[in-house]
Structure 1
Amino acid sequence: MTRPLYLHIGLQKTGTSYLQGLFLGNQEVLREHGLDVHPRQRREAYWLMLDVRDRLRPHNPPQAREVLRGLPEALRSAPGRAALVSEESFSPAEDHQLRRLLDACSDREVHLVVTARDLARQIPSVWQQGLQSGRSITFPAYLARLHETQGTPAPIWWQKDLPAVLEKWGRHVAAERIHVVTVPPAGAEKDLLLRRFCSVLGVDPAHLDRSSVGRDNRGLRLEQAEVLRRVNAGIPDELKRRDVYGDVGKRGFSVAVLGGTEGRRILLPRSEAAWCQELSEAYVEHLRSGGYDVVGDVEDLLPREESFAPDEQEVTEEQVAQASVAALTTMVSRQLESHREVKDRQLAALEPGWRARVGDAVRRVLGRS
């Protein structure tokens, strides 16, 4: 019997980081229960996506080109009853690109897994994620672009137009083997998304160790997002290369400094409610009529009242200044802590006699002043 391969292709900002971290961190346990995870490292899954989508660049390491080449043999030699490949940026692949990926899936029976979230929560989350990748577009301008390009294959819709993603991949994978896992609404039962996802894989989530995977992947708040947006606007484009900006701008500044601080949630303005509701209802109808395996409640994709702000969520200059000072304070404090540790190690390495003579010299200088 042909063994299944579960290909999780996104969508973006649908709990993918949590799920990937959990499965990558439990590979041995999953293997014992018949599920192999490929590739075995997150960066290799990212390289696989880059290669599939023709996005590898000269600055990518040579081994990045080996992941796709090695995938067929890795899947053939995997001992489990099933395998999982997960990367949320597979979903925008063009027809010839996704065929390349499917051709590399050895003799497996490919099952597509798509995690989907209601647009009212996904849109603000994707916008701030774009800021964390170096973009500087304002939220109102981002929303205007969504309206202008709705119904087109514009990149801004690649990770949001659920029917378009399903129809494209459905030309290569039968609808009954396309599993759409809906992200539960805010306040839902803990680990409900995980249980839904595991039900597709045939894995009992009780076997998984969740202690090493953080659940709090909270994005930027409104004030911090505006600080990052303005910083990005001042950074030359040549410094926004993925491997450079990702370490400094995203993980170093956005996540480590701005992330997790207090502020207002980024919400869709109330003026977008009717548009969002109409579009979401169309998505729900597509799922109901498309023959897909919907895991969860399809109405989880309809927006909730609390997802809309009563105003346009303007950020004042005072709020920007406060958030900027807080960020600078964090950055300088960490530099001081690091510098103090270096100084303390240097002092501890001095011989007792040297330390005494240095102390005497300092006191003499201070005494003359």
Structure 2
Amino acid sequence: MADRVVLHIGSMKSGTSFIQNVLGNNREALAQHGISFAGERWRDQVTAVQDLIAHGGPRQEPLDPAGPWLRLVEEINATPGTSVVSMEFLAPRVTAKIELVRDALQGDLQVVLTGRDLARNIAAMWLESVQNGSAVDWDAYLAAVRSEDRSQPVARNFWNHQGLAEIARRWADAVGEDHFTLMTVPQKGAPSSLLWERFAQVLHLDPQAFALDVRANPSIGLATAMTLQHLNALLEADGFTDDKYYDLLVKHLLTKRGLVARQGQEPRLGLDERWVMKRGAAEVAALRKQGHRVVGDLDELLPKPVPGVHPSQVSTQQQLEAAMEGLSRMVQIGVEREGRHRRRIARLRKGNR
């Protein structure tokens, strides 16, 4: 039976990929301290949480006992020591789903919510949205976030994932304050290892015992983001709705393994709006009032101006360069795939002779 389960619930764009990569790359070292990163690979956690989101709640089909979520729960409950789950899709869950999670997991449940300041997260969430297929431009995105109108998909998605005080209250109420920790993401300029040091503190580990040379998850440049937004608008107009292939071809092969390398050549998205600073300060005030256990410093969640430019300052030439590099990459991907396809056909024909 598990002695302890550490459930890292996000939020999005709060260093989650870094923490997940450190945990995944240090499985053997963690095991020496009686800690397991649940699942054979992190993708098992993603699939399990997606199963939890889709099943088991009011007006939903029940969870399949042999499905991904309950299989992961069974593995966690059967593993002695500490099990760690890190999946940012958990943060926005409603109380009924939180209680389902709480009641399924045995041992001492410790929930960790990581949070980053509002200014950096608004910019990061828009850049992420265009990589996920959104055709909403920056100004429209910013206006929707400011409105906090949950009837609008943009505002609803943003505040579901970034309303830290609301998320913290809901989870702490369900699991108890003694089982909830808010961990702040350091402001820009802090040592790159500091976020892991804080998470290691939650795990009662010496942070120096673990390798931090993990795959990064860098943000895209602004010219690339604008190019993707225009591409998404064209795909939307053509009725393209295949999220699976978009995720593979555009988000991963084109962007994360290609155009992201342009970030040093492109302008960065900036944000310096008075309402953002005011709204971020209100969020911090609400968190102070709630009185959660904090690792880090709530002052780190006070927004500061994000250096960079507005999309209107990105030239057509800069966008064209990003688009042409993207087109070149897609041609190379097509050639590589066609080559593999032809070689498979040749092998099959040879085997049938």
Other-structure match for 2:109: 110
| Separation of aligned partners in 2, 1:343 and 1:45 | 36
Q: 8 Å contact 2:193–2:212 — kept in the other structure?
A: no
Task: State whether structure 2 residue 4 is matched by structure 1 residue 4.
Answer: yes
Other-structure match for 2:138: 139
Q: Secondary structure at the match of 1:112?
A: strand
Structural mapping, 1:177-196, within 5 Å: 177-196=179-198
Q: Secondary structure at the match of 1:181?
A: strand
Identity of aligned residues (%): 28
Cα deviation for residue 64 of structure 1 reads 11
Over aligned residues, Cα RMSD in angstroms?
3.0
| Separation of aligned partners in 1, 2:308 and 2:47 | 38
List gaps (5 residues or longer) in structure 1: 57-62, 345-369
Structural mapping, 1:256-335, within 5 Å: 256-261=257-262, 262-268=265-271, 270=272, 272=273, 274-305=274-305, 307-309=306-308, 313-333=312-332
| Separation of aligned partners in 2, 1:13 and 1:141 | 20
Task: State whether structure 2 residue 244 is matched by structure 1 residue 243.
Answer: yes
Q: Secondary structure at the match of 2:211?
A: coil
Other-structure match for 2:212: 210
Cα deviation for residue 93 of structure 1 reads 1.0
Q: 8 Å contact 1:52–1:98 — kept in the other structure?
A: no
Q: 8 Å contact 1:6–1:84 — kept in the other structure?
A: yes
Task: State whether structure 2 residue 156 is matched by structure 1 residue 154.
Answer: yes
Structural mapping, 1:75-94, within 5 Å: 75-80=76-81, 82-94=82-94
Q: 8 Å contact 1:175–1:290 — kept in the other structure?
A: no
Between Structure 1 and Structure 2, how many residues are aligned? Answer: 333
Cα deviation for residue 277 of structure 1 reads 1.4
Task: State whether structure 2 residue 66 is matched by structure 1 residue 69.
Answer: no
Other-structure match for 1:41: 41
- The two structures have a TM-score, normalised by structure 2, of 0.85
| Separation of aligned partners in 2, 1:187 and 1:218 | 16
**For the pair shown, which has the larger CA radius of gyration, 1 or 2?**
1
| Separation of aligned partners in 1, 2:239 and 2:93 | 25
Q: 8 Å contact 1:219–1:260 — kept in the other structure?
A: no
Cα deviation for residue 156 of structure 1 reads 2.5
CA-to-partner distance for each residue in 1:142-176, whole Å, 9 max, x for gaps?
A: 01101222688823311111011011112202123
Q: Secondary structure at the match of 1:171?
A: helix
Other-structure match for 1:100: 100
Q: Quick one: structure 1 residues 201 and 242, their matched pair in 2 at CA, closer, same or farther if it must change by over 3 Å?
A: farther
Q: 8 Å contact 2:269–2:309 — kept in the other structure?
A: no
Q: Secondary structure at the match of 1:198?
A: helix
| Separation of aligned partners in 2, 1:151 and 1:342 | 46
Cα deviation for residue 233 of structure 1 reads 1.2
Which letter maps to 1:188? A
Q: Secondary structure at the match of 2:133?
A: coil
Q: 8 Å contact 1:9–1:90 — kept in the other structure?
A: yes
Cα deviation for residue 85 of structure 1 reads 0.9
Which letter maps to 1:167? R
Which letter maps to 2:175? V
| Separation of aligned partners in 2, 1:65 and 1:145 | 40
| Separation of aligned partners in 2, 1:151 and 1:159 | 12
| Separation of aligned partners in 1, 2:224 and 2:119 | 20
Q: Quick one: structure 1 residues 311 and 21, their matched pair in 2 at CA, closer, same or farther if it must change by over 3 Å?
A: closer
- The two structures have a TM-score, normalised by structure 1, of 0.81
Q: Quick one: structure 1 residues 65 and 309, their matched pair in 2 at CA, closer, same or farther if it must change by over 3 Å?
A: farther
Cα deviation for residue 55 of structure 1 reads 7.1
Cα deviation for residue 336 of structure 1 reads 5.9
Q: 8 Å contact 1:26–1:208 — kept in the other structure?
A: yes
| Separation of aligned partners in 1, 2:204 and 2:191 | 20
| Separation of aligned partners in 1, 2:69 and 2:232 | 33
